[in-house]
Amino acid sequence: MAERSLVFPAAEFRARARRLRAAMNEAGLDALLLTMPADIFYVTGFLTRFWESPARPWFVVVPARGEPVAVIPAIGAALMGRCWIDDIRTWNAPDPRDDGVGLLVDTLAALTPQDGRIGVPSGAETHLRMPLADFRRLEARIRPRLLVDGTDVIQPVREIKSEAEIRMIREICAIADRAFARVPDIAAAGVPLAQVFRDFQIALLQEGADWVSYVAGGARRDGYGDVISPAGMRPLASGDVLMLDTGAVRNGYFCDFDRNFAIGRASDKARRAHAALFQATENALARMRPGMKAADVHRLLSGALADAGHAPLCGRLGHGLGISLTEWPSFTPLDHTVLREGMVLALEPGVELSPGRIMVHEENIVLRAHGPELLSRRTPAELPEILP
C-alpha cells in the first residue's frame, strides 16, 4: 500500500468507542454527532490535511448502541475505507441542494429513538464544523429528537490518553527536542526572525515531523511582545531573548512546547526571569497529583512566580494537548476540572517583565499516579546563550 494505514490497531479505536458509549449512557444520550477534525480522528483514525479546505462538512455518528457510522463526502471514501469503520455513507459533495444533511438525518433517525437526545460538542474548545444554515436544517428535520451539548461526554474520554497515545506524543516531543537542540545553528545576531522560523520548521521536518501546524515566537531585548505573531524581517540582535514555540505533528499527534535562547550574553534581568519560570515549573512538577484541580496547578505556577517577585501573565498557564495543539483543561483560577492519571498537559508559566515585554516557558508532561512524567526534555535551568 502506498497509503498510510491506521495509526493504531483497530482495538484502540474500539476501546474509545466503548468509552464514549459508556459516557453517553451515563449522560442519557442516544448518539454523538461529531464534526470537528480532532473528534473524527479520535473515533475513526481518519487522518488527512484535507480539513484545510472548508468546502465540505464531514460527520461521524457514534450511537449509544452499535459502532460508529461515517457520513462523509465521496472524496474521502477510500481513506475512510482504510480505517476501522465498516459503515461508511457518502454523498457527492459539494452539493448546493443538500450537502449531506438528508443523509445525516436518515442516519440519525435510524440510529436513535424518536424522542432521542443527540449530543453535539458545543462547549469550550469546540466548534461546529459545518455550515450553520445546514445545522439549523438538521435541527428542524430531526425533530422531535433534540440536539444537545455533548461536550461532557467527549471531553472526559479524550482527556485521558492511552499508553499508545502517550507513546505518540512522546515521539513528537523527542522530534521537537532534537529540532530545538539545533537552534544554536539556526539563530544568531543578524539573522532575520522570519529566516529562523523557516529553518526551525525545516529542522522539525528533518527530525521526523510529518508536518508543522504551529510555530510562533518572538525576539526582543529582555523578552518579547507577544507569543502569537508571525515572524517579521527584523534581524536578531545581541541582547535579544529569542523564544520559539512549536506544535509539530507526527501520526496526528501534537507536541506543544517552547524554548528560550539569549542572543549573545544573557542580561541579569532575562536570566532571573528564566530562573523564575524554571522554578515555577519545578514546583508544579514536584507537587502535581491526580485529584488536584486545574485551578490548583495555576496556583502552583503563579504562586511560585509571585514568590520570586514576578507578575504572572494573565490568562491560562497551561492546558491539555494531544490530537489538537491545545485541549481541555485550562490552568486558570476558574477551571475546576479534576486532574486524572493519563492526562497529557502543557505547563506554561509566563511573566511580564515590563509593560509589553514578556517571557514564557513550556514543558509537556503526562500525569501519573505519583505525579508528572516529562515528555519534553527538561529545558536547562540557566537561559542558554547563543554566542558568536
User: What are the two backbone dihedrals, phi and then psi, of residue 5, each rounded to the nearest 5 degrees?
Assistant: -90, 180
Q: Going by C-beta distance under 8 Å and a sequence separation of 6 or more, which residues neighbour residue 168?
A: 7, 250, 251, 252, 253
Q: Which of 28, 66, 123, 380 binds a second copy (CB under 8 A)?
A: 123
Q: Which of 229, 265, 286, 380 binds a second copy (CB under 8 A)?
A: 229
Q: Which of 109, 141, 160, 201 binds a second copy (CB under 8 A)?
A: 201
C-beta of residue 118 within 8 angstroms of C-beta of residue 34: no
Residue 117, strand partner residues: 146
Residue 29 CB-density burial (10 A; 0-12 exposed, 13-18 middle, 19+ buried): buried
C-beta of residue 17 within 8 angstroms of C-beta of residue 43: yes
Taking each helix axis from N to C end, the angle separating 10-27 and 37-44, rounded to the nearest 10 degrees, works out to: 120
# residues near a second copy by CB under 8 A: 90
The Cα–Cα gap between 257 and 386 comes to: 20
The Cα–Cα gap between 158 and 113 comes to: 26
Rule CB under 8 A: is residue 100 a binding residue for a second copy? no
Q: Which of 12, 19, 27, 50 binds a second copy (CB under 8 A)?
A: 50
Q: Which of 27, 88, 93, 191 binds a second copy (CB under 8 A)?
A: 93
- Measured from the CB atom, is 93 or 292 closer to a second copy? 93
Rule CB under 8 A: is residue 225 a binding residue for a second copy? yes
Q: Going by C-beta distance under 8 Å and a sequence separation of 6 or more, which residues neighbour residue 181?
A: none
Count of positions (residues) in the chain: 388
- Residues in 230-259 that interact with a second copy by CB under 8 A: 230-234, 240, 247
Q: Please choose, from the candidates 96, 177, 97, 112, the residue with its C-alpha nearest in 3D space to the C-alpha of residue 147.
A: 112
Rule CB under 8 A: is residue 312 a binding residue for a second copy? no
- Residues in 344-363 that interact with a second copy by CB under 8 A: 356
Q: Which of 8, 180, 224, 261 binds a second copy (CB under 8 A)?
A: 224
Q: Which stretch binds a second copy (CB under 8 A): 173-181, 275-283, 312-320, 367-375?
A: 312-320
C-beta of residue 196 within 8 angstroms of C-beta of residue 187: yes
The Cα–Cα gap between 254 and 263 comes to: 28
Q: Which of 9, 86, 87, 92 binds a second copy (CB under 8 A)?
A: 92
Residues 356-372: b if buried by 16+ CB within 10 A, e if exposed = ebbbbbbbbbbbeeeeb
Rule CB under 8 A: is residue 213 a binding residue for a second copy? yes
Q: Which stretch binds a second copy (CB under 8 A): 18-26, 53-61, 168-176, 257-265?
A: 53-61
- Measured from the CB atom, is 146 or 275 closer to a second copy? 146
Q: Which of 10, 22, 110, 124 binds a second copy (CB under 8 A)?
A: 124
Q: Which of 115, 144, 291, 334 binds a second copy (CB under 8 A)?
A: 334
Rule CB under 8 A: is residue 96 a binding residue for a second copy? yes
The Cα–Cα gap between 153 and 64 comes to: 11
We find the least distance from the C-beta atom of residue 369 to a second copy, in angstroms, to be 27
Task: Please give the distance of CA 311 from its chain centroid, rounded to a whole number.
Answer: 26
Q: Please choose, from the candidates 196, 325, 187, the residue with its C-alpha nearest in 3D space to the C-alpha of residue 252.
A: 325
Rule CB under 8 A: is residue 270 a binding residue for a second copy? no
Q: Which of 131, 184, 190, 380 binds a second copy (CB under 8 A)?
A: 131
Residue 316, SS3 per DSSP: coil
- Measured from the CB atom, is 274 or 357 closer to a second copy? 357
- Measured from the CB atom, is 99 or 258 closer to a second copy? 99
Rule CB under 8 A: is residue 53 a binding residue for a second copy? yes
Q: Which stretch binds a second copy (CB under 8 A): 179-187, 194-202, 280-288, 304-312?
A: 194-202
Q: Which of 16, 21, 117, 129 binds a second copy (CB under 8 A)?
A: 129
We find the least distance from the C-beta atom of residue 288 to a second copy, in angstroms, to be 20
User: What are the two backbone dihedrals, phi and then psi, of residue 188, each rounded to the nearest 5 degrees?
Assistant: -165, 160
We find the least distance from the C-beta atom of residue 109 to a second copy, in angstroms, to be 21
251: left (phi over 0), alpha (psi -120 to 50) or beta: left
Q: Which stretch binds a second copy (CB under 8 A): 109-117, 174-182, 218-226, 285-293?
A: 218-226
